[in-house]
């Protein structure tokens, strides 16, 4: 029963290669003094020496650290509060607020930032109103503080997802027992509810903290005017500092990021185990009672509305506005600047048009293929616990620690220098593989959530009835998680639509996607086209959201 079939071992080994080969390349490169493919390269620690001596690296590191810290301090309390309000109180409009809360997860931070520039930048339309009212603009969107606040606010959903599911699984009878024992509501919250959701909050806190070290798009756009570098943008710009691209330096920075994030990813594993410890303690399926807030419910709703306005409405209105004008600024009116040429440009340029089509293909077909692969991987370790599955566990978590930008670079190398893959480099396959690996942890969480819902006896029963393990998978397990897999497909579609950094180094004819085109165009191209692309991207994600809502797909568990 516990023997590992050969096919599963193959799946696990392939997954491990897909994950560790690119990362291994990065690691190797970081110990060289020239691109690994150049003759005459030497081993050494020069790369690390250089970056550690570079004051910009120190600055970038500190900025990343502040962002991480700020994100944790902003998003954890807010996310927790939001979860409490949504799950445990009678706040009005809960049903339709819920999907809105998750928008920032599915909209690229690049797009949000372009939007912020247009709406609350120094001459943004909201800034102009502020100028009229206060006489000056009381905020500076390009400051480090703004970057931290925006990063924090846009990661509130990450915390919300975890704490709300923890709160949901915490049945009210546990609290009621405390009430009956004589504790007041505040005491119950402090001594029962909070400690029980604490592991989930801590888990999401760690998640947000290490995501902070991977912030890229946000700093690329908002950090540019005042030159605020973070680790990922430092790395992206490192090429210019020395005039010629310096892979060894980039790899060294990458390894620094990985060195910070890997321990955190691993600690999450430990935290998750703790979190489960509490969840299994949940009371027996009693209905959750909501806490009547009285007049305060409108205050709470107002709070959520403000957060939504700041995090979602303001930037999206900004970017949509920008997509339909030729130019904007003080004294420009929408009517005279209105144009559809931005879209015409997109449709007329073959590479942009390919980008739009590729983005759709990658999301729909690629997303589907990814879910199929994730399912195979999930089945390989399903109901097993041995050395192989532990290897797979770590393999699956590792990509989370590597920023997409670098993963993309590493995959470019793999496709260049690994002959069997070379013919696929200029095809969407290269992007698809990189995307699938970068989002492996996310995808596997979706799939394994479904898999765990299948009762083990349903599979065992099929075995006893005479089915081989393979037949069990085909006849029982997979049919049972069919709807879970469809929902995962939708989630992966939206995440693939949003992804922008992984494709940057893989960008070429045939591999254009909206996300990487935006990063590339940002360097030299025009904002007109970027805005139009952003608008198209938002439309695509909205379609995904719409389908999710229409068919009642839960956007998180």
Find the binding residues for another protein in span 92-111 (CB under 8 A).
none
Q: How far is the CB of 264 from another protein (least distance, A)?
A: 28
Q: How far is the CB of 147 from another protein (least distance, A)?
A: 15
Cβ neighbors of 15 (< 8 A, separation 6 or more) are 377, 380, 392, 395, 396, 440
Find the binding residues for another protein in span 288-327 (CB under 8 A).
326-327
- Residue 101, classified by CB atoms within 10 Å of its CB into exposed (0-12), middle (13-18) or buried (19+), is buried
196-204, 262-270, 340-348, 399-407 -> range binding another protein (CB under 8 A): 340-348
Nearer to another protein, 292 or 419 (CB): 419
CA distance 549 to 488: 14
Nearer to another protein, 179 or 475 (CB): 475
Cβ neighbors of 542 (< 8 A, separation 6 or more) are none
The yes or no reply on residue 486 touching another protein (CB under 8 A) is: no
Q: Is 49 helix (H, G, I), strand (E, B) or coil?
A: helix
Q: How far is the CB of 496 from another protein (least distance, A)?
A: 22
Q: Which two tokens stand for residue 107?
A: 């909209």
Among 45, 357, 458, 539, binds another protein (CB under 8 A): 458
Q: How far is the CB of 549 from another protein (least distance, A)?
A: 25
Nearer to another protein, 94 or 237 (CB): 237
| 26 within 8 A of 251, measured Cβ to Cβ | yes
Q: How far is the CB of 108 from another protein (least distance, A)?
A: 16
Nearer to another protein, 518 or 545 (CB): 518
Among 480, 543, 547, 549, binds another protein (CB under 8 A): 480
Q: How far is the CB of 476 from another protein (least distance, A)?
A: 6
| 156 within 8 A of 138, measured Cβ to Cβ | no
Q: How far is the CB of 513 from another protein (least distance, A)?
A: 14
263-271, 411-419, 429-437, 535-543 -> range binding another protein (CB under 8 A): 411-419
Considering Cα of 397, then 73, then 146, then 308, what sign does the dihedral take? Answer: positive
Our CA angle for 545, 555, 221, nearest 5°, is: 65
Q: How far is the CB of 27 from another protein (least distance, A)?
A: 18
185-193, 232-240, 280-288, 495-503 -> range binding another protein (CB under 8 A): 232-240
Q: How far is the CB of 420 from another protein (least distance, A)?
A: 12
Q: How far is the CB of 247 from another protein (least distance, A)?
A: 8
Find the binding residues for another protein in span 117-176 (CB under 8 A).
117, 121-123
Cβ neighbors of 352 (< 8 A, separation 6 or more) are 345, 346, 512, 517, 529, 533
Cβ neighbors of 59 (< 8 A, separation 6 or more) are 229
Site string for another protein, 514-553 (x = CB under 8 A): ------xxxxxxxx--x-----------------------
Distances 247 to 26, 48, 236, 409 between C-alpha atoms, Å: 9, 12, 10, 10
17-25, 277-285, 409-417, 436-444 -> range binding another protein (CB under 8 A): 409-417
| 257 within 8 A of 231, measured Cβ to Cβ | yes
Which residues partner with 43 through β-bridges?
32
Find the binding residues for another protein in span 29-88 (CB under 8 A).
35, 37-38, 55-56
Find the binding residues for another protein in span 240-259 (CB under 8 A).
240-245, 247
Among 102, 476, 490, 492, binds another protein (CB under 8 A): 476
CA distance 168 to 163: 8
Give the residue ranges of DSSP H helices in 31-108: 46-53, 55-88, 94-101, 103-106
Find the binding residues for another protein in span 343-382 (CB under 8 A).
345, 348-352
Q: How far is the CB of 460 from another protein (least distance, A)?
A: 5
| 305 within 8 A of 192, measured Cβ to Cβ | no
Nearer to another protein, 276 or 289 (CB): 276
83-88 long-range Cβ contacts below 8 angstroms, 24+ apart:
83/159, 83/160, 83/163, 83/164, 83/166, 83/167, 83/197, 84/163, 84/167, 85/300, 85/303, 85/304, 86/160, 86/164, 87/164, 87/167, 87/168, 87/288, 88/167, 88/288, 88/290, 88/291
CA distance 179 to 173: 9
Nearer to another protein, 463 or 556 (CB): 463
Among 289, 417, 546, 554, binds another protein (CB under 8 A): 417
CA distance 149 to 164: 22
Find the binding residues for another protein in span 425-444 (CB under 8 A).
425
The yes or no reply on residue 191 touching another protein (CB under 8 A) is: no
Nearer to another protein, 281 or 461 (CB): 461
Q: How far is the CB of 134 from another protein (least distance, A)?
A: 18
Nearer to another protein, 94 or 383 (CB): 383
7-15, 222-230, 390-398, 533-541 -> range binding another protein (CB under 8 A): 222-230
Q: How far is the CB of 322 from another protein (least distance, A)?
A: 9
């Amino acid at each position: 029963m516990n023997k590992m079939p050969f096919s599963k071992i193959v799946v696990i080994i392939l997954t491990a290669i897909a994950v560790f080969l690119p990362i291994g390349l990065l690691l190797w490169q970081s110990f060289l003094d020239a691109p690994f493919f150049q003759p005459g390269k030497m081993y050494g620690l020069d790369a690390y020496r250089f970056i550690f001596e570079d004051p910009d690296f120190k600055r970038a590191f500190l900025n990343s650290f502040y962002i991480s810290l700020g994100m944790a301090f902003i998003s954890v309390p807010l996310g927790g509060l939001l979860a409490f309000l949504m799950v445990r109180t009678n706040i009005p409009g809960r049903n339709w607020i819920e999907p809105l809360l998750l928008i920032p997860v599915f909209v690229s931070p690049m797009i949000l930032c372009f939007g912020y520039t247009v709406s609350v930048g120094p001459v943004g339309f909201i800034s102009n109103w502020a100028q009229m009212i206060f006489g000056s603009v009381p905020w500076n969107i390009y400051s480090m503080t703004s970057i931290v606040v925006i990063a924090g606010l846009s990661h509130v959903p990450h915390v919300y997802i975890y704490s709300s599911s923890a709160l949901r699984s915490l049945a009210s009878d546990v609290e009621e027992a405390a009430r009956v024992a004589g504790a007041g509501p505040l005491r119950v919250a402090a001594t029962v509810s909070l400690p029980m959701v604490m592991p989930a909050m801590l888990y999401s806190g760690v998640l947000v903290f290490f995501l902070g070290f991977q912030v890229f798009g946000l700093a690329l756009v908002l950090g540019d005017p005042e030159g605020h570098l973070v680790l990922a943008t430092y790395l992206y710009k490192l090429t210019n500092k020395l005039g010629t691209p310096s892979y060894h330096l980039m790899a060294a920075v990458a390894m620094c990021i990985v060195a910070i994030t890997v321990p955190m990813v691993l600690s999450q594993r430990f935290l998750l185990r703790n979190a489960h410890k509490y969840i299994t303690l949940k009371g027996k399926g009693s209905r959750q009672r909501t806490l009547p807030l009285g007049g305060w419910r409108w205050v709470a709703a107002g709070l959520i509305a403000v957060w939504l306005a700041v995090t979602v409405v303001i930037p999206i209105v900004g970017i949509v506005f920008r997509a339909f004008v030729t130019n904007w600024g003080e004294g420009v009116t929408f009517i005279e600047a209105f144009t559809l040429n931005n879209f015409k440009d997109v449709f007329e340029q073959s590479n942009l048009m390919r980008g739009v089509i590729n983005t759709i293909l990658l999301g729909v077909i690629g997303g589907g293929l990814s879910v199929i692969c994730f399912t195979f991987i999930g089945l390989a370790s399903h109901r097993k616990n041995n050395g192989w599955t532990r290897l797979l566990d770590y393999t699956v978590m590792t990509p989370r620690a590597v920023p997409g930008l670098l993963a993309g670079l590493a995959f470019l190398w793999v496709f260049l220098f690994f002959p069997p893959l070379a013919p696929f480099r200029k095809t969407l396959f290269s992007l698809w593989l990189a995307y699938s690996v970068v989002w492996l942890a996310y995808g596997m969480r979706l799939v394994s959530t479904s898999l765990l819902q299948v009762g083990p006896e349903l599979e065992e029963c099929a075995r006893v009835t005479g089915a081989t393990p393979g037949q069990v998978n085909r006849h029982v397990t997979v049919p049972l998680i069919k709807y879970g897999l469809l929902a995962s497909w939708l989630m992966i579609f939206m995440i693939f639509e949003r992804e922008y950094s992984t494709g940057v180094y893989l960008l070429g004819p045939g591999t254009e996607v909206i996300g990487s085109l935006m990063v590339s165009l940002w360097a030299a191209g025009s904002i007109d086209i970027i805005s139009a692309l952003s608008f198209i991207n938002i439309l695509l994600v909205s379609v995904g959201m719409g389908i999710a809502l229409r068919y009642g797909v839960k956007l998180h568990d």
